[in-house]
Amino acid sequence: MRYLLDTSTVSALARSRPPAGLERRIDLHGGQYAIASLVVAELRFGAQRHPDPVRRERLTAFVDGVVLSTPVVPFDARAGEWLGVERARLELAGTPVDLADLIIAATAAVNQLVVVTVNMRHFERMHVTVEDWTAP
């Protein structure tokens, strides 16, 4: 594995018309990516809270497919250590970051994976390598 897809990237794939660049990169890097355990929780939460039952059912089926077909990397003690140090660094610099993004970044960092995100600015201050696969 080389890449860790964040929630925004996987969510973009659930759209009725996913970004063409993203689909192309997913095909190009098949078998080289995983998702963080937190992404499973965020995807499941997003699907379950959708007010439209038809859309909720479609999103639930999508999440089921993603979880079955994509390796899931757990958040472990090494990631916890990395997160604690990185969170303190960012807060002391006056640039705190969302905890969910830190968990994804920590999971990537300790497993030497590149974070793939649609929201580059969420990760730009962290000590991780980041790519946006939606760009043409």
Which amino acid is it at 2?
A: R
How far apart, in whole angstroms, are the C-alpha atoms of residue 40 and residue 96? 24
How far apart, in whole angstroms, are the C-alpha atoms of residue 126 and residue 114? 12
Q: What is the CATH number assigned to the segment(s) 8-131?
A: 3.40.50.1010
DSSP structure class, residue 114: E
Could you identify the residue written with the tokens 């990185």? 86
The ranges assigned to domains in the chain are: 8-131
Instruction: Show pLDDT as tens, one digit a residue, over the chain (136 residues).
Output: 899 999 999 999 999 899 989 999 999 998 999 999 999 999 999 999 999 999 999 999 999 999 999 999 999 999 999 999 999 999 999 999 999 999 999 999 999 999 999 999 999 999 999 999 997 6
